[in-house]
Structure 1
Amino acid sequence: MTDFALGPKARAAGYRLRGYDSIGSTNAEALAAATAGDPGGIWFAARQQTAGRGRRGRQWINPHGNLAATLLIIPESDPTSAATLGFVAGVSLNRALSAILPDGMVKIGIDGADGLGGGRIALKWPNDVLADGAKLAGILLEASKLPNGRQAVAIGIGVNVVAAPEGLPYPATSLAALGASRTAEDVFDALSDAWVDTFGMWNDGRGIGDVLTHWRASAAGIGAPVAVQQDGDVLRGIFETIDDDGRLIIRADDNRRIAITAGDVHFGATASARS
C-alpha cells in the first residue's frame, strides 16, 4: 500500500489510480494495461522505478522517494495531435509545482536558462522542467496502437523530489535541494488536479494553441542562444519561439528561421561555445 491519492478534481473527473512503492516502469505498466483492455484515464504512480525509460532509449534513474507517474489515456484525437500531450503535461506539472512550492520559489517569466536564480522554475523544450537551469523533472510520451485501431498514450512524468540522480552529463536538482520539503505524494496530488484543467483546455487537440500560450509563458531560453544536437550535427542560433505545432523555432546565424521537431537542446554558454 502507498499513500498516493488523486486530487479532488481528478477524482471528480473519474480518473483512477494504482500506487506503488517500487515498480519497474510506470510507462510499461500503463501500456500493458492498455493492451489488456483498460479504457484509459488511469494513473500509475510510484516512489521508485527500477527500469525507468527516458527519451531516445536512455535510462531514467529514479532514486527512492522521487515521483514516477504515468497517465494512460486513449484520446479521440489523431496521432499528430496526441503528440502534443507532452506540452499538456509540462503546463500541468508547472502549475502543480506552483501550487505546492513555497511563495516566491516559483517565478514566472520569459528569460534565458542560465543564472535563473531564486528557484526559478521553467519549461525546457521539448520535455523537461528546470530549476535554476538544472533538470528537475522529465516527461516521456510513448504510444501503442490497439487492436481496435485506436492509439493508447502513456504520459510519463518523473520528478526529482528527494534527490537528483548522480553522474549525469547535465546539471540536475531536486525539490529537497531547493529547500522544499515535499513528498512524491504531495507532488502527485497537485499534478493529478492540474492535469484535469490543462487537459480540458487541450480539448482533444483543438485547444493546443491555448496550451502552448501557457507553455511559452514559462519557457526557458526564449531570446537566448541555443544549440540543438541532431544525429551528430549541431545547429546554433537564437531560440525565437515555439510555433503552433509545438516546434522549436531557431533564428540561425545566417538569419534563416528553422523549425526543429526533435533534438537535444542546450542553452546559454554551452550553446554559444564553438568547437
Structure 2
Amino acid sequence: MAAKQAHFALAPTAAQSGYRVKSFETVGSTNAEALDAARADDTGRCWFVSDHQQTGRGRRGRPWQTERGNLAASLLIVDDLDLKATATLGFVAGLALHDALSALIPDADLAVALDGDARRRFELKWPNDVLAGGAKLSGILLESTKLPNGRQATSIGWGVNVVTHPGDTEFPATSLRALGSSADAGDVFLALTDAWAENHAVWNGASGLDAIRARWLERASGLGGQVAVRIDGRVARGIFETIDSDCRFVIREDDGRLTHITAGDVHFGAVASARAI
C-alpha cells in the first residue's frame, strides 16, 4: 500500500524562533533546493522537506534515495561562520534527531526492545549517523557554498528511514516502521524542528560547543569499545576514547598513542577486529 502524503508543520518553538518551512510532494534533493534558495537571496532559517526524495546524496557522494513515506529534510543557514565552526553543526543535527526520536517514540511503541535504558534506544555514530539497535536509521549531510555577498550558506540535511530501509547496505539498516512505530514523516519532522531549536540554542549559548560535545558523548555509539578507521592509507585500530574539543574522533591505538581523526568510516566491534576493513 502506498504511503499517505505526510503533512509538514513546524513545532511552535521553531516558528517562534523565526524558522520557516517549504514542503514538496516530490523533490530531487532538499539540500540542493536549500542551496539554490540561498543563491536566490533566501536569508536562511528555512526548512526544505519532503517524504519523497529522488536524487539525494550521502557522504562522499553516495546516493541517498528517500522512498515515499521516509523523511528528507534540510535546514538552510546563512551566516558568517568559517567552515570549521560550521562543521560542528553536524553534531547539533545528530543530537536534535536523537532527542526528537526519543521524545516522539516512547518505549511502549517499539516492538523491538533495543535496550533497557531508554536513552540508549537511539545512538549517535560519529560523525553523522543515528542508529537504532546498532542499525542505521538516519544519515546527516552538511553542504556549504560561498555566496556573492561573502556570506556562507549551509544546508544541513537529514535522511530518516521512517517506513522503509535499504537492504543492500554496507552496514545494517532499519526503519521506524520495522521497529514497530506508527510515526510518519510529518511526526518526525515536527519533533525534529522542536529539538533543533533547543539544541541550536545550546550551541549558540554561553557553553556553546562544550555543552554540545558533552551531550553528544552521552549518546555516542561504541564509546570505550574496539574501533577501526581507515586513514592515510592505513587502518587505525584501538579504543574509541572520546571526541575532542573540535569534535574530531579520538582513538587510543593499540600502541597507546592518541590519534585524532577528522574524517573516515568508523567500524565497531567484531568488524573493527577484522584484518581487512
TM-score bracket relative to the smaller structure: over 0.9
Partner of 2:49: 45
Task: Report the AA paired with residue 248 of structure 1.
Answer: F
**Equivalence map 1:225-236=2 (5 Å):** 225-230=226-231, 232-236=233-237
Deviations 1:14-38 (A, max 9, x none): 1110111210000000000001110
Letter in 2 for 1:213: A
Q: Report the TM-score when normalising by structure 1.
A: 0.92
User: CA contact under 8 A between 2:109 and 2:180: conserved in structure 1?
Assistant: no
> CA 1:272–1:161 in 2, change beyond 3 Å: closer, same or farther?
same
Q: Structure 2-normalised TM-score?
A: 0.92
Distance 1:254 1:240 in 2: 14
- Assess if the C-alpha contact under 8 Å between 1:62 and 1:165 holds in 2: no
Change (3 A) 1:231 1:68: farther
Contact 1:129 1:135 in 2 (8 A): yes
Q: For residue 52 of structure 1, give the secondary structure of its aligned residue in structure 2.
A: strand
C-alpha displacement at 1:133, in angstroms? 0.5
Q: CA deviation at 1:80?
A: 1.3
Distance apart, 1:206 and its partner CA: 6.5
Aligned position for 1:109: none
Q: Which SS does the other structure have where 2:18 is aligned?
A: coil
Give ranges in structure 1 of 5+ residues lacking alignment: 107-114
Asked if the contact 1:129–1:136 (Cα under 8 Å) also holds between the matched residues in 2, the reply is yes
Is the contact made by 1:102 and 1:180 (CA closer than 8 Å) also made in structure 2? no
Deviations 1:60-101 (A, max 9, x none): 121110000000001343221111000010111111001100
- The CA distance in 2 between the partners of 1:247 and 1:98, in whole Å, is 25
Question: Cα RMSD over matched residues?
Answer: 1.9
Give the % identical residues.
57
In the alignment, the residues of structure 2 paired with residue 70 and residue 143 of structure 1 have an alpha-carbon distance, to the nearest angstrom, of: 12
**1:22/1:216 Cα in 2 relative to 1: closer, same or farther (>3 Å)?**
same
**1:213 positional shift:** 0.7
Which secondary structure does the structure 1 equivalent of 2:144 belong to? strand
| Matched length | 267
Partner of 1:125: 126
Alignment partners' CA distance in 2, 1:269 and 1:70: 34
Which amino acid counterpart does residue 207 of structure 1 have in structure 2? G
Match of 1:69 among 73, 81, 84: 73
Classify the secondary structure of the residue corresponding to 1:190. helix
Aligned counterparts of 2:22 and 2:53: Cα–Cα separation in 1: 14
The alpha-carbon deviation at position 42 of structure 1 amounts to: 0.3
Secondary structure in structure 2 of the residue aligned to 1:236: strand
CA offsets 1:38-63 (integer angstroms, 9 cap, x no match) = 00000001001100010011111211
**What is aligned with 1:110?**
none
The reply to whether residue 169 of structure 1 matches residue 170 of structure 2 is yes
Q: 1:271 to 1:238 in 2, by over 3 A?
A: same
Partner of 1:147: 148
Residue type of the alignment partner of 1:9: T
**Is 1:14 paired with 2:18?**
yes
Q: Is residue 67–residue 159 contact of structure 1 (8 Å, CA) maintained in 2? A: yes
Residue aligning to 1:243: 244
- The correspondence for 1:89, drawn from 80, 86, 93, is 93
Compute the displacement of 1:234 (Å): 1.6
- What residue in structure 2 maps to residue 138 of structure 1? 139
- Name the CA distance, whole Å, in 2 between partners of 1:77 and 1:204: 15
Alpha-carbon distance in structure 1 between the residues aligned to 2:115 and 2:203: 31
How many angstroms apart in 2 are the aligned matches of 1:232 and 1:243? 23
Contact 1:81–1:205 under 8 Å retained in 2: no
Amino acid in structure 1 at the alignment position of 2:37: A
